């Protein structure tokens, strides 16, 4: 069995390491791997225990192991539209942990040089009905698998990448704003005037992977930080949150992490009754929410007032 | 044919030409052109010197209401242009005959309307200098590309429908223009493309107009259906409706017919055309408008009653705001003044007299403009997620002065196109009228 799946598992593991998602076992495997840099074609007969992405401990022949590098080359221009190979990015937002600290928002604004009202990540005060308690709901772009926005774009300026990300090429966007009308989540924002941004960004080279430099008269939105994911790092909102509300991961690996805790995606969604916002619209978002039950913090508006001051 | 008969025909032709050949602007005409030009130039200033430099920030549009009066005005222009197909194709193919003096009025409204629909959509773009992206990166899956295709096709076919039946009249203008008026003579000679008035030439015109009339009907339905799909293909309350295409088309015929009625009245009074645009024409146009209004009323009931009966949460928020909330005064004014009152008044014989019809026509046209506003803007004020975490000016929409000015300029532009058309071309088809007076085609000179 180990022999059969060898290729797959090596591939999985490589991706696994790239994203920087180490589980306990891989550290052990890592030391052994470093000794097997020059793997020969022949079977050595020596078995090595390694852990798969699913968390299963398996034995493989030492000669079959290839070392995985954790550096990725920057995406070439053509690849910006394809995305990071082999990945299916997914986010989980645990509403039971959010206290409206808004560190996600400020980190996002800082990282993308967002000024004024153009915030890619918003935090809503939600209340499903009069009887139930209100809760805070952070909302990035939901990166739908059936995105209403890319369907209506007349020039393919916004598009779905193979790694699940819905991106925008602001060098191509004509500013018709049909995507804004089509998005049911009010995710997209428009540069109604010349965006204020540092000069080195404004004059820098354009890439869809960073959505920079920002442009006047075009649509922009949360891009899931492909420039971070590319380097195996987590998006800014995930790392900035003091309460670990945001989990990011690869659906192919079935793992999500907020930097300090890591879960198997499928099990987390099963155990915590994860849902997608407005599932009935059929947009198939890549962002899951965990319902605001057993909360870490009571709902209070003080937090909001504090941030507004 | 004896001499006296030939003389009589020549005399008749002379009278027709006297009445219908284009005339220089009178004083009131000059004032009219002056005012329109002023409005037009002001709008040009705001567009080129403010909006292009500063961006759409000079409008009141923001992330929630990301489509404003530019788009509702676009829908209005597309709607008004449908009348070309109604008068010069649908009525023609049904052998109505009475509409002959009105075909050119309808067709020039269609051409002017659809031209400015295209212009105003470029005005609405955040990046108009990237317009060419539509042709190099165009995605055939996007309703905007469908709209670009059908609107340009409709523009071409409408221009042909305006131009081809006008060739004999241009030839009459050419022959009536004195030689010292060099440029005008050249202009008519060029456009008349060597018209001689032979039997074969008339045959060609008749055949091509017949083909164009058949082609233009599905095109007209397409332009407005596709325009309705810009809204209906989204999942938003008020737009997410299978009724929208039919609703838009019925509304378009209403505003188009009403605009023809307004134009008929003004041209008739100004150029003393009572003999050609008769009481009968007003009567028939009135009856036609009643029929169209009834159809429109039917689709209105479908559009508001059905979701109003169910009151799904998101539809309920939208409908409450529209029917009883802050948009209610505008909504009920538009429905009552722009639809119900004209419908009732025109049911009576005395309601189909020229002046009454003109007033009702203006009511319908103005109502129709604001109706497009009510179709586009309130829906954008009702997103699924609450409006939070945005500056307060994002949560309401009232157009800014530059936005009004640019929009007014587009309306003035349409009127200027029509005005200058009337200045240089006979607005009532001379040769077709002559033919109806029993004058032989080869004698029409």
A177/B139 CB distance under 8 A: no
* A211 pLDDT more than 90: no
B63/A123 CB distance under 8 A: no
What is the distance between the alpha carbons of residues A143 and A141, in angstroms, rounded to a whole number? 6
- Kindly write down the DSSP assignment for every residue of chain A, as one continuous string: -TTTTHHHHHHHHHHHHHTT---HHHHHHHHHHHTTSS--SS----EEEEE-TTS-EEEEEGGG--PPP---PPPPGGGGGT-STT--EEEEEEGGG-----HHHHHHHHHTT--TT--SSEEEEE-SSSSSPPEEEEE-----SS-HHHHH-SSS-EEE-TTS-EEE-TTT-----HHHHH-TT---EE--SPPP--HHHHTS--BTTTTBS--TTSEE-----HHHHTTT---HHHHH-TT--EEEEETTTTEEE-SS-EEEHHHHHHHTT-B-TTGGG----SEEEE-S-S-SS---THHHHHHH-
Comparison of pLDDT for B313 and B367, the residue scoring more: B367
Nearest to B374 by CA among B231, B202, B172: B231
Residue A164: the pLDDT is 95
* B26 pLDDT more than 70: yes
Structure tokens at B195: 């018209």
Pairing of strands A189-190, A166-168: unpaired
B384/A122 CB distance under 8 A: no
- Residues of B within 8 A of A181 (CB-CB) are 66-67, 230-231, 234, 236, 380
Counted across chains A and B, CB pairs separated by less than 8 A come out at 134
Residue A197: the pLDDT is 87
Kindly report the number of other CB atoms within 10 A of residue B438's CB atom: 8
Do residues A191 and A214 touch, judged by C-beta distance below 8 A? yes
B128-137: average pLDDT: 94
Confidence of residue A40 (pLDDT cuts 50, 70, 90): very low
Q: Tell me which of B234, B239, B381, B386 to substitute to probe the interface with A (most A C-beta atoms closer than 10 Å).
A: B234
B239-244: average pLDDT: 93
Residue A2: the pLDDT is 42
Please indicate, yes or no, if residue B292 is contained in any of the structural domains.
Answer: no
Q: Which tens digit of pLDDT belongs to each residue from A122-180?
A: 999 999 999 999 999 999 999 999 999 999 999 999 999 999 999 999 999 999 999 99
Task: Compare CB distances from A154 to B124, B139, B235 and report the shortest one's residue.
Answer: B139
Most confident range, picked from B92-106, B276-290, B427-441: B276-290
Q: Tell me which of B57, B66, B71 to substitute to probe the interface with A (most A C-beta atoms closer than 10 Å).
A: B66
Question: What residues does each domain of chain A span?
Answer: 6-64, 77-290
Class of domain A77-290: alpha beta
Residue A7: the pLDDT is 47
Coil, helix or strand at residue B74: helix
* B79 pLDDT more than 70: yes
A8-46 burial, b if ≥16 CB within 10 A, otherwise e?
Answer: ebbbbbebbbbbebeeebbeebeeebeebeeeeeeeeee
Residue A305: the pLDDT is 53
- Residues of A within 8 A of B131 (CB-CB) are 174
Structure tokens at B159: 């221009």
Do residues B66 and A186 touch, judged by C-beta distance below 8 A? no
B322-332: average pLDDT: 95
User: Domain range holding B51?
Assistant: 19-225+248-282+398-443
Q: Tell me which of B47, B52, B54, B55 to substitute to probe the interface with A (most A C-beta atoms closer than 10 Å).
A: B55
Residue A47: the pLDDT is 82
Please indicate, yes or no, if residue B14 is contained in any of the structural domains.
Answer: no
Any chain B CB within 8 A of the CB of A192? yes
B363-369: average pLDDT: 97
Q: State which residue of chain A sits closest to B71, comparing Cα positions.
A: A176
Comparison of pLDDT for B100 and A286, the residue scoring more: A286
Taking the CA atoms of B56, B60, B65 and B70 in sequence, report the sign of the dihedral they define.
negative
Any chain B CB within 8 A of the CB of A139? yes
Please indicate, yes or no, if residue B437 is contained in any of the structural domains.
Answer: yes
What is the distance between the alpha carbons of residues B265 and B358, in angstroms, rounded to a whole number? 6
Q: State which residue of chain A sits closest to B237, comparing Cα positions.
A: A184
Nearest to A51 by CA among A81, A21, A72: A21
Please indicate, yes or no, if residue B418 is contained in any of the structural domains.
Answer: yes
Do residues B237 and B317 touch, judged by C-beta distance below 8 A? yes
CA distance B170 to chain A (A): 40
- Residues of A within 8 A of B135 (CB-CB) are none
Any chain B CB within 8 A of the CB of A305? no
- Residues of A within 8 A of B132 (CB-CB) are none
Nearest to B230 by CA among B147, B340, B165, B306: B147
Lowest mean pLDDT segment, chosen from A46-55, A190-199, B117-126, B310-319: A46-55
* B443 pLDDT more than 80: no
Taking the CA atoms of B16, B22, B25 and B31 in sequence, report the sign of the dihedral they define.
positive
Q: Mean pLDDT, chain B, as a whole number?
A: 93
Backbone angles phi, psi at B243, to 5 degrees: -80, -15
B197-201: average pLDDT: 90
* A14 pLDDT more than 60: no
Residue B2: the pLDDT is 63
CA distance B148 to chain A (A): 10
B125/A186 CB distance under 8 A: no
- Residues of A within 8 A of B72 (CB-CB) are none
Backbone angles phi, psi at A275, to 5 degrees: -140, 165
Nearest to A179 by CA among A171, A168, A164: A168
Residue A301: the pLDDT is 76
Residue A75: the pLDDT is 55
Confidence of residue A55 (pLDDT cuts 50, 70, 90): confident
Confidence of residue B437 (pLDDT cuts 50, 70, 90): confident
Please indicate, yes or no, if residue B257 is contained in any of the structural domains.
Answer: yes
Report helix angle B354-380 to B313-323, nearest 10.
Answer: 140
Q: In this predicted complex, what is the ipTM? A: 0.92
* A35 pLDDT more than 80: no
Task: Compare CB distances from B139 to A153, A173, A191 and report the shortest one's residue.
Answer: A153
Task: Compare CB distances from A153 to B142, B235, B384 and report the shortest one's residue.
Answer: B142
What is the distance between the alpha carbons of residues B444 and B170, in angstroms, rounded to a whole number? 12
* A218 pLDDT more than 80: yes
Task: Compare CB distances from B67 to A122, A174, A177 and report the shortest one's residue.
Answer: A177
Comparison of pLDDT for B1 and A181, the residue scoring more: A181
A217/B383 CB distance under 8 A: no
Nearest to B104 by CA among B87, B81, B82: B87
- Residues of B within 8 A of A192 (CB-CB) are 55-57, 59, 61-62
Do residues A222 and A210 touch, judged by C-beta distance below 8 A? no
- Residues of B within 8 A of A139 (CB-CB) are 385
* A64 pLDDT more than 60: yes
Report how many domains make up chain B.
1
Please indicate, yes or no, if residue B304 is contained in any of the structural domains.
Answer: no
A239-258: average pLDDT: 96
A154/B383 CB distance under 8 A: no
Residue B378: the pLDDT is 95
Please indicate, yes or no, if residue B9 is contained in any of the structural domains.
Answer: no
Do residues B435 and B98 touch, judged by C-beta distance below 8 A? no
Q: What is the DSSP letter of B46?
A: I
CA distance A297 to chain B (A): 21
Any chain B CB within 8 A of the CB of A278? yes
Please indicate, yes or no, if residue B338 is contained in any of the structural domains.
Answer: no
Do residues B137 and A155 touch, judged by C-beta distance below 8 A? yes
Residue A306: the pLDDT is 53
B126/A178 CB distance under 8 A: no
* A13 pLDDT more than 50: no
């Amino acid at each position: 069995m180990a022999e059969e799946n060898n290729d797959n598992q090596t591939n999985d593991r490589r991706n696994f390491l790239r994203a920087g998602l180490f589980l306990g076992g891989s550290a052990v495997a890592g030391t052994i791997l470093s000794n097997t840099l020059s793997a020969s074609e022949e079977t050595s007969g020596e078995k090595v225990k390694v852990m798969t992405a699913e968390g299963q401990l398996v034995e493989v022949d030492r000669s079959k192991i290839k070392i995985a590098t954790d550096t990725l080359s920057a995406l070439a221009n053509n690849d910006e539209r394809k995305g990071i190979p082999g990945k299916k990015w997914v986010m989980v937002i645990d509403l039971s942990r959010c206290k409206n600290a808004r560190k996600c928002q400020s980190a996002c604004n800082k990282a993308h040089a967002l000024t004024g009202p153009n915030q890619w990540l918003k935090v809503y005060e939600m209340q499903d009905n009069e009887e139930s308690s209100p809760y805070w709901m952070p909302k990035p772009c939901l990166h739908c698998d059936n995105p209403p926005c890319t369907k209506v774009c007349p020039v393919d300026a916004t598009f779905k990448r193979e790694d699940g990300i819905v991106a925008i090429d602001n060098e191509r966007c004509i500013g018709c704003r049909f995507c804004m009308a089509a998005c049911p989540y009010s995710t997209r924002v428009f540069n109604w005037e010349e965006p204020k941004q540092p000069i080195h960004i404004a004059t820098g080279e354009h890439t869809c992977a960073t959505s920079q430099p920002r442009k006047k008269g075009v649509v922009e939105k949360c891009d899931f930080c492909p420039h971070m994911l590319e380097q195996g790092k987590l998006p800014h909102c995930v790392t900035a949150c003091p309460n670990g509300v945001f989990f990011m991961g690869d659906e192919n690996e079935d793992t999500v992490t907020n930097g300090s805790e890591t879960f198997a995606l499928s099990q987390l969604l099963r155990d915590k009754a994860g849902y997608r916002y407005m599932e009935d619209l059929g947009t198939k978002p890549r962002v899951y929410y965990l319902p605001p039950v057993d909360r870490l913090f009571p709902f209070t508006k003080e937090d909001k007032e504090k941030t507004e001051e | 044919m004896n001499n006296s008969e030939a003389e009589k025909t020549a005399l008749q032709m002379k009278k027709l030409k006297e009445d219908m050949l284009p005339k220089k602007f009178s004083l009131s005409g000059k004032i009219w052109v002056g005012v329109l030009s002023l409005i037009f130039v002001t709008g040009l200033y705001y567009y080129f010197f403010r909006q292009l430099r500063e961006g759409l920030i000079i409008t009141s549009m923001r992330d929630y209401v990301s489509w404003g009066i530019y788009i509702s005005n676009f829908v209005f222009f597309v709607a008004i242009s449908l009348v070309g197909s109604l008068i010069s194709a649908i009525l023609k193919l049904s052998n109505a005959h009475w509409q002959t003096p009105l075909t050119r009025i309808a067709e020039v409204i269609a051409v002017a309307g659809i031209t400015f629909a295209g212009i105003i959509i470029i005005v609405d773009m955040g990046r108009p200098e990237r317009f060419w992206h539509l042709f190099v990166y165009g995605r055939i899956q996007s309703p905007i590309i469908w709209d670009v295709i059908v609107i340009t096709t409709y523009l071409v076919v409408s221009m042909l429908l305006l131009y081809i039946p006008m060739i004999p009249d241009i030839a009459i203008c050419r022959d009536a223009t004195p030689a010292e008026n060099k440029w005008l003579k050249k202009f008519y000679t060029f456009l008349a493309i060597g018209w001689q008035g032979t039997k074969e030439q008339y045959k060609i015109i008749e055949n091509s107009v017949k083909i164009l009339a058949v082609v233009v009907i599905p095109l007209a339905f397409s332009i407005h259906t596709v325009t309705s799909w810009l809204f209906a293909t989204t999942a938003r309350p008020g737009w997410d409706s299978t009724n929208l295409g039919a609703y838009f088309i019925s509304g378009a015929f209403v505003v188009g017919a009403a605009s023809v009625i307004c134009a008929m009245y003004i041209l008739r009074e100004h150029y003393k055309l009572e003999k050609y645009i008769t009481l009968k024409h007003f009567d028939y146009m009135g009856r036609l408008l009643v029929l169209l209004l009834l159809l429109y009323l039917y689709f209105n009931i479908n559009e508001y009653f059905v979701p109003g009966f169910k009151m799904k949460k998101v539809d309920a928020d939208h409908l409450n705001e529209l029917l009883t909330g802050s948009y209610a005064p505008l909504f009920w004014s538009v429905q009552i003044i722009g639809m119900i009152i004209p419908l009732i008044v025109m049911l009576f014989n005395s309601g189909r007299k020229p002046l009454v019809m003109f007033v009702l026509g203006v009511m319908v046209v103005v109502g129709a403009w604001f109706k497009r506003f009510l179709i586009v803007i309130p829906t954008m004020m009702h997103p699924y997620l609450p409006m939070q975490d945005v500056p307060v000016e994002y949560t309401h929409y009232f157009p800014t002065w530059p936005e009004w000015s640019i929009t007014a300029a587009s309306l003035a532009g349409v009127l200027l196109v029509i005005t200058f058309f009337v200045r240089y071309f006979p607005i009532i088809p001379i040769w077709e009228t002559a033919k109806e007076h029993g004058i032989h085609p080869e004698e029409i000179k």
